[in-house]
Structure 1
Amino acid sequence: MWNKIIKATNALVVVLCLIGLANISLAEAREKGPKKAQMLQTELDPYFETLAKSNRFIGEAAIYQSGNELYHTTIEPDGEQSILTDKHYKYKVGSITKTYTATVILQLIEENRLSLDTKLSEYYPNVANAGAITVEQLLTHHSGIHNYTADADFLTYHEKPQSKTFLLDKIESFKPDFNPGEKAQYSNSNYLLLGYIIEDIEGKSYQDVLLERIIEPLGLDDTFVGEAIDPENEEAYSYQLAEKWNEIPEWDMSVAFSAGAIVSTPEELDRFISALFKGKLISDSSLKKMINIENGFGKGIFETKYEWDDKELQGYWHNGGIEGFISHLAYYPDEDLTIVVLSNGLNYDIRAIYNVMLDAYFEQDFDTPEFGKAVEVPVSELEKYTGKYESKTHPLDITVSLLGNKLYGQATGQGGFPLTPLGEGRFEFAKAGIEIRFDDNNNQFEIKQGGRADIFNKVEDTVEQESVEVPIETLKQYVGIYQSESFPLDLEVMIKDGYLHAQATGQPAFPLTAVSQYKFKFDMASIVIEFRPEQSELTITQRGMPRDMYKK
Structure 2
Amino acid sequence: MQSTVKSALLSLAIIASPMAIADSVNKNTQENTKKAAEQLTEQSEQQLDRYFHRLAGENRFLGTAVIYQDTTPVYQITIQPSKKAKKGWATSTDHDLKYKIGSISKTYASAIIFQLIEEGKLTLDTKLSQFYPKVKNADKITIKHLLNHQSGIFNYTSEPDFINYVFFPKDKDFLVAKIESFDSDFEPGEKAEYSNSGYLLLGFIAEDIEKKPYSDIIEERISKPYNLNNTYYGSDIKEGNGEVHSYEYKGKWGKMAEWHMNIPGAAGALVSNADDLNQFINLLFDGKIISKDSLKTMTTMDMKYGLGIFETSYGEDEDKLEGYWHNGGIEGFRTHLAYYPDKDISVVLLSNALRYDMREIYEAMLDAYHGKTVAEPEFGAPIELSKEQMEPLVGSYSSDTFPLDINLSIKDGQLYAQATGQGAFPLTAYPDDKFEYVEAGIEIRYDRDIDQFLLIQGGQGYAFNKEGGKKHQAFAVPESLLEQYVGVYGADDFPLDLEIMVKEGNLYGQATGQSEFPLTAESETRFRFKLAGIVINFDAGKKQLTITQHGKDTVLSKK
Partner SS for 1:331: strand
Q: Write the mapping of 1:367-516 to structure 2, written as runs, cut at 5 A.
A: 367-378=375-386, 380-384=388-392, 403-405=408-410, 406=415, 420-423=428-431, 425-427=433-435, 462=469
Whether the 8 Å CA contact 2:15–2:311 is kept in 1: the answer is no
| Corresponding residue for residue 152 of structure 2 | 144
| Aligned with 2:224 (options 209, 212, 216) | 216
| Corresponding residue for residue 297 of structure 2 | 289
| Deviation per residue, 1:229-268 (Å, 9 max, x gap) | 1111111111000110011100000111111000000111
| Aligned with 1:39 (options 34, 38, 43) | 43
Range 169-178 or range 376-385, more displaced? 376-385
What is the percentage of aligned positions where both structures have the same residue?
A: 43
Q: Write the mapping of 1:95-134 to structure 2, written as runs, cut at 5 A.
A: 95-134=103-142
| Corresponding residue for residue 91 of structure 2 | 84
For residues 271 and 19 of structure 1, the distance between their equivalents in structure 2, rounded to whole angstroms, comes to 23
Partner SS for 2:11: coil
Gaps of 5+ in 1: 389-395, 411-416, 450-455, 465-552
Q: Give the partner amino acid of 2:90.
A: I
- 1:59: Cα distance to partner? 0.8
| Deviation per residue, 1:162-191 (Å, 9 max, x gap) | 111111111111111111111111111100
Whether the 8 Å CA contact 2:40–2:75 is kept in 1: the answer is no
For residues 49 and 236 of structure 1, the distance between their equivalents in structure 2, rounded to whole angstroms, comes to 19
Matched, 1:15 2:23: no
Whether the 8 Å CA contact 2:395–2:409 is kept in 1: the answer is no
Question: In the superposition, relative to structure 1, how do residues 232 and 378 fare at CA in structure 2: closer, same or farther (>3 Å)?
Answer: farther
Matched, 1:263 2:271: yes
| Corresponding residue for residue 335 of structure 1 | 343
| Aligned with 1:176 (options 184, 195, 216) | 184
For residues 121 and 14 of structure 2, the distance between their equivalents in structure 1, rounded to whole angstroms, comes to 41
- 1:84: Cα distance to partner? 2.2
Question: In the superposition, relative to structure 1, how do residues 185 and 37 fare at CA in structure 2: closer, same or farther (>3 Å)?
Answer: same
For residues 344 and 131 of structure 2, the distance between their equivalents in structure 1, rounded to whole angstroms, comes to 38
| Corresponding residue for residue 313 of structure 2 | 305
Q: CA RMSD in A?
A: 3.7
Range 70-79 or range 195-204, more displaced? 70-79
Whether the 8 Å CA contact 2:250–2:441 is kept in 1: the answer is no
Partner SS for 2:10: coil
Matched, 1:206 2:214: yes
- 1:218: Cα distance to partner? 1.4
| Deviation per residue, 1:347-392 (Å, 9 max, x gap) | 111111011111111122343211134445455422335799xxxx
Partner SS for 1:121: helix
Whether the 8 Å CA contact 1:428–1:434 is kept in 2: the answer is yes
| Deviation per residue, 1:132-180 (Å, 9 max, x gap) | 0000000000001111111111111111111111111111111111111
Whether the 8 Å CA contact 1:116–1:135 is kept in 2: the answer is yes
Question: In the superposition, relative to structure 1, how do residues 44 and 116 fare at CA in structure 2: closer, same or farther (>3 Å)?
Answer: same
Partner SS for 2:315: strand
For residues 467 and 161 of structure 2, the distance between their equivalents in structure 1, rounded to whole angstroms, comes to 37
- 1:102: Cα distance to partner? 0.2
For residues 444 and 152 of structure 1, the distance between their equivalents in structure 2, rounded to whole angstroms, comes to 28
- 1:211: Cα distance to partner? 1.4
- 1:437: Cα distance to partner? 8.4
Aligned residues: 431
TM-score (norm 2): 0.69
Whether the 8 Å CA contact 2:47–2:374 is kept in 1: the answer is no
| Corresponding residue for residue 238 of structure 2 | 230
Q: Give the partner amino acid of 1:349.
A: D
Q: Give the partner amino acid of 2:365.
A: M
| Aligned with 2:57 (options 53, 58, 69) | 53
- 1:213: Cα distance to partner? 1.4
TM-score (norm 1): 0.70
- 1:114: Cα distance to partner? 0.4
| Corresponding residue for residue 355 of structure 2 | 347
For residues 387 and 362 of structure 1, the distance between their equivalents in structure 2, rounded to whole angstroms, comes to 48
For residues 374 and 52 of structure 1, the distance between their equivalents in structure 2, rounded to whole angstroms, comes to 19
For residues 204 and 278 of structure 2, the distance between their equivalents in structure 1, rounded to whole angstroms, comes to 26
Range 91-100 or range 372-381, more displaced? 372-381
